[in-house]
């Protein structure tokens, strides 16, 4: 008989006791969405599997349309099914088709890409209008690439993205780095708790 590892036990329990929340991970191309999802998966793996190791660098390719991962963080009330959407211009027009039934949004910003902050602001405002009728959907702003010196900090980002203009949905900014993992677990656990409270 094979050994059942804790992750597997957790997954089996989840099938019976818990459901997962549907979340879209969205943002401009190269903002770090796929790296963020892979980092979160790696950090959760480290929580459950003694043989797991911290992955130093993820090699990613531009996401073609979407990729889906369901991740079960320890101690978080809900597992998260993350829809990692491609951020290239031609793919952005498809984002709205993935918003049906969504319970949370993670909008990823490359805080080192100051030239495209205005474009990110436009896309975020457009998105908030598309989901605005359902104000119980929290929007998490992942202020990514904080490992790069001179990246925009939280306060600068709130201003640059005109976040106070978003009044239809609850939003919160998390400074983080998908590269180092800093802030990643806190952000997803907060999202899981917020969605759970709204249920």
Binding site for ligand GTP (CB under 6 A): 27, 29-35, 60, 62-63, 86-88, 144-145, 147-148, 177-179
Give the nearest distance from C-beta 110 to Mg ion in angstroms: 12
Residues 178 and 191: their CA atoms lie apart, in Å, by 16
Tell whether 146 is in a known binding site: yes
Closest CA to 33 of 176, 194, 195, 192: 176
Find which of Mg ion, ligand GTP, none residue 192 binds, CB within 5 to 8 Å per kind.
none
Q: What is the DSSP string of 60-92?
A: ----SSEEEEEE--TT-SSEEEEEEE--SHHHH
3-state secondary structure of 184: helix
Measured from the CB atom, the residue of 32 and 104 that comes closer to ligand GTP is 32
Contact (CB, 8 A) for 66 and 102:
no
Contact (CB, 8 A) for 154 and 175:
yes
Give the nearest distance from C-beta 136 to ligand GTP in angstroms: 26
Question: Binder to Mg ion among 31, 38, 63, 144 (CB under 5 A)?
Answer: 63
Measured from the CB atom, the residue of 30 and 70 that comes closer to ligand GTP is 30
Query: Does residue 144 interact with Mg ion by CB under 5 A?
Result: no
Residues 178 and 85: their CA atoms lie apart, in Å, by 16
Supply the Cα-derived Rg of the chain in whole angstroms: 17
Tell whether 181 is in a known binding site: no
Contact (CB, 8 A) for 79 and 191:
no
Query: Does residue 192 interact with Mg ion by CB under 5 A?
Result: no
Tell whether 125 is in a known binding site: no
Site string for Mg ion, 9-38 (x = CB under 5 A): ------------------------xx----
Residues 148 and 30: their CA atoms lie apart, in Å, by 14
Give the nearest distance from C-beta 62 to ligand GTP in angstroms: 3
Tell whether 179 is in a known binding site: no
Tell whether 34 is in a known binding site: yes
Q: Which residues are annotated binding-site positions for Mg(2+)?
A: 34, 63
Query: Which parts are annotated binding residues for GTP?
Result: 27-34, 87, 144-147
Question: Which residues sit at the interface with Mg ion, rule CB under 5 A?
Answer: 33-34, 63
């Amino acid at each position: 008989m094979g050994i059942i590892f804790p992750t597997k036990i957790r997954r089996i329990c989840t099938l019976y006791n818990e459901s997962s929340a549907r979340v879209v991970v969205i943002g401009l191309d190269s903002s770090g969405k796929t790296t963020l999802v892979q980092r979160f998966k790696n950090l959760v793996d480290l929580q459950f599997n003694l043989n797991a190791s911290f992955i130093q660098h993820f090699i990613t390719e531009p996401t073609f349309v979407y990729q889906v991962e369901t991740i079960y963080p320890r101690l978080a009330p809900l597992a998260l099914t993350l829809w990692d959407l491609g951020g290239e211009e031609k793919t952005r027009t498809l984002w709205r088709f993935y918003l049906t039934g969504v319970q949370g949004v993670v909008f990823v910003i490359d805080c080192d890409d100051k030239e495209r902050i205005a474009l990110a602001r436009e896309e975020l405002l457009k998105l908030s209008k598309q989901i605005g009728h359902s104000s119980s959907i929290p929007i998490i702003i992942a202020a990514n690439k904080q490992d790069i010196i001179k990246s925009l900090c939280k306060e600068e980002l709130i201003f640059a993205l005109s976040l106070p203009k978003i009044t239809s949905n609850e939003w919160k900014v998390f400074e983080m780095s998908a590269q180092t993992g800093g802030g990643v677990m806190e952000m997803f656990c907060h999202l899981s708790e917020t969605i759970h409270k709204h249920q």
